Amino acid sequence: MAKDIEFGYGCNNCRNSRNNKCNRHRHRNRWRFGRPIRIALVGAPTSGKSAIFSRLTGVGVISTNYPGTTVETTSGNVRHKGNEFEITDLPGIYSLSATSEDEKITRDFIFKNKPDVLVNVVDATRLESNLFLTLQLLELGFNLVIALNQIDLASKMGLKIDTKKLSKELGVPVVETVAVKGLGLLQILDECILVAKNMNNSGDRKKRYYFYPFDDHLEDSLKNITSVLPEMASKRTIGIKALEQDEEYLKNVLSNEDFDKIVSIANDEKKKIEKAHPGIPIKDAMLRERHAKAGAIAAFVTEKSKRNKLANIEMLDDILTSPGSGLVILALVLFSMMLLVFYIGGIIEEYIVSIFDALVTNPLQDALSGTHPLLRNVILYSMLGIEAGLGIVIPYIGIFYIFIGILEDTGYLSRAALLLDNACHKFGLHGKAIIPIVLAFGCNVPAILATRTLSSKRERILTGIVATLTPCSARTIVILGLVGKFVSLAAAFSLYAFDVAIIVVVGYVLGKYLPGDKTGLVMEIPILRMPDFVGSLKKSWLRMQEFVYVAFPLIVIGSTILGVLSGLELLDDIQNIFEEPSMLILGLPGFAVTALIIGIIRKEMALEMLAVLGGTMIFTEILTPLQMYVFSLVCIIYVPCIATIAMLKREFGTRDAALITTFTIMLAILIGGSVFRILTIFQVF
């Protein structure tokens, strides 16, 4: 450990005094650590790490009631009793073996960054399965503080957990918490301070290694392996890792010489053990022992009473997941959600736009009437961009996120995933892929991020492509604002249906031919619970903020560029280039194509730009119904917006992002062109 870190007593308030008898603040003096205490939250998925994290740090992270919401590490700082804490939220894991992307992230973080204290969040309702990870962490010699979360729900289920017994059994502090209500969270920090203090007192991190014995064969082998190691703190850990043949870990902690020695001994020992336990690979034997131990500890500290207040919920669960009633409910939920979003969103949007017009756009227009056209255009166009952004983000996306937040909290989405699993198999996906796709209806960007919970690259890309074709709220606005308003609602719905058909066909074809492994679905089903409405509001605010940070600068930049172009009267030239090919292929005038190109920045801007370039908001004056229909159709399919492309690049790499983008452009031209021809022949409009 670095030498420059100061430990010791000091006054928390003036921070100057070295001794703890600062006269001015004597009553407040406490021990404090010389630097921020680094804490990481680890635990099984849906145990409530993110809820604890955002409650403690005030840094917003999204927590839900389905596994795998956190896919990145987030850090935040907090001060408590004079100590600084740097807390990191990690993706949930079941064990320290790294099989999926998010598991690797967590594993790498705790091995490489070596936090001072690991707060192991254990779900009290699933004590047995969660303790498995705890035992593994103890083996590795981390400083642990256990946060026994959802203790209220556990007692409702009739589970009484003796915290003191558990703490004694594991040899680490255990704190009862209810993260969503904020109970017990400061006690976690108190315990972390104590642990850090111990760490300091005992000099060079000489920790009390708690371990539980394996069976005799394994113990003997461990002894043999560790006997050759030089004296060091984590001998047992290395022995265990050697038996598990975790070479990645061993290479990090051992010198080359030791590494070779250990590996060869471990191999011999392995053969010996496998002879003693025929037919059971050593890894499995160790796993089994840990699970047995976890089960025994859980049974030892838990008192079960027969009163289970959640029995009614089980019945509800049956209704939600039975194929008949479940699907009807699912369809109703999704349909009414969409309807409500657009009904309420529409009302709010009108207000926002009219207020913005009255307060900003109109006065600005008057004020700028005499200035240079370049300046005037730049300012007016960026204002229009901001107006479009406000009109979309707050009403539609905000409300969509509120609903999604509620759905997530209840745990309903996992049930939906179950229900649709069979249907998803037809596309070579499994039910889990439903969650990103539902998110995509709001915005494609978080949807692509959410594909990380899927286990294979193939599924991730496939779901990513389907998500980019899903009509997000911005595209829905184009459909409704253009076709719904000026052609007919039926036509707008037919566009929606058309898009769904495209998704189904594309998904099916790609599902057949995309190479890669298909893996099975293994998913934990969280308990259904009442949503936390305040939490959902906060969460949707958080997601909106993310959206605003990504989207607003792009909107303003795009509008400004457009302002410059039109100020310099270059727009006409650009349009002239597109006029001919676009009339030929899609039957669209040049300015519509320009609007589509601008729409790459944000899809709903295609509509705004159509108004600006056409010179009117009444689109019937500038476009035929057929043109509007084709315009919207192309707008849905062609190129994901810039933010989505950026996300695709980050998640799947440049090559795949470019491939997906090109694919969607081709698809849009192909479908737009054929629809234009077919509808002309049949003279639908």
Partner 1 sequence: MSEKKEEYLEAMYRLTDGKKPIKTTEIANYLKVAPPSVTEMMTNLAKDKLVKYVPYKGVTLTEEGIRQGRRITRKHRILERFLSDILNVRKEDTHEQACKMEHVISDEVEEGMCRILSNPKECPHGTEIPECPKYPAGCKKCRSGKNVPLSSLKKGECAILELILADKNTRAKLNSMGILPGTEILVVRRIANGPVCFRACGTEIAVDGEVAKHILVRKKNG
Using the contact rule CB under 8 A, the part of the chain among 417-425, 485-493, 547-555, 565-573 near partner 1 is 417-425
Which x/- pattern, by CB under 8 A, does the window 266-285 give for partner 1? Answer: ------------xxxx--x-
Provide the CA 585 distance to its chain's centre, in angstroms.
40
CB of 236 to partner 1, least distance (A): 21
CA distance 275 to 494: 67
Angstrom CA distances, 348 to 69, 294, 471, 606, 611, stand at 30, 53, 21, 21, 21
CB of 519 to partner 1, least distance (A): 5
Total site size for partner 1, rule CB under 8 A: 46
CB of 161 to partner 1, least distance (A): 11
Structure tokens at 133: 């990870």
Residue 167: beta bridge partners? none
Q: What type of residue sits at position 24?
A: R
**CA 338-339-340 angle, 5° bins:** 95
CB of 323 to partner 1, least distance (A): 6
CA distance 196 to 370: 68
CA distance 290 to 281: 15
CB of 546 to partner 1, least distance (A): 30
Provide the CA 606 distance to its chain's centre, in angstroms.
29
Using the contact rule CB under 8 A, the part of the chain among 20-28, 70-78, 331-339, 514-522 near partner 1 is 514-522
Structure tokens at 296: 């025994």
Using the contact rule CB under 8 A, the part of the chain among 317-325, 534-542, 605-613, 669-677 near partner 1 is 317-325
**CA 292-297-301 angle, 5° bins:** 150
CB of 310 to partner 1, least distance (A): 12
3-class DSSP state of 109? helix
Binders of partner 1 in range 450-479 (CB under 8 A):
455
3-class DSSP state of 83? strand
Q: Contact with partner 1 (CB under 8 A): which of 13, 422, 654, 680? A: 422
Which x/- pattern, by CB under 8 A, does the window 101-140 give for partner 1? Answer: ------------------------xxxxx--x--------
Binders of partner 1 in range 287-306 (CB under 8 A):
287-288, 291, 294-295, 298
DSSP 8-state secondary structure symbol assigned to residue 586: T
CA distance 219 to 448: 46
CB of 63 to partner 1, least distance (A): 18
Does position 430 interact with partner 1 (CB under 8 A)? The reply is yes
Residue 175: beta bridge partners? 147
Binders of partner 1 in range 515-534 (CB under 8 A):
517, 519-525, 527
Complex with partner 1: residue 84 or 108, whichever CB lies closer: 108
Q: E strand or H helix at 598, and its extent?
A: helix 590-598
Q: What is the chain's alpha carbon radius of gyration, rounded to the nearest angstrom?
A: 30
Using the contact rule CB under 8 A, the part of the chain among 84-92, 310-318, 460-468, 486-494 near partner 1 is 310-318
CB of 94 to partner 1, least distance (A): 4
3-class DSSP state of 622? coil
CB of 182 to partner 1, least distance (A): 25
| Chain residues in the site for partner 1 (CB under 8 A) | 94-95, 97, 99-100, 125-129, 132, 278-281, 284, 287-288, 291, 294-295, 298, 314, 317-318, 321-323, 414, 418-419, 421-422, 425, 430-431, 455, 517, 519-525, 527
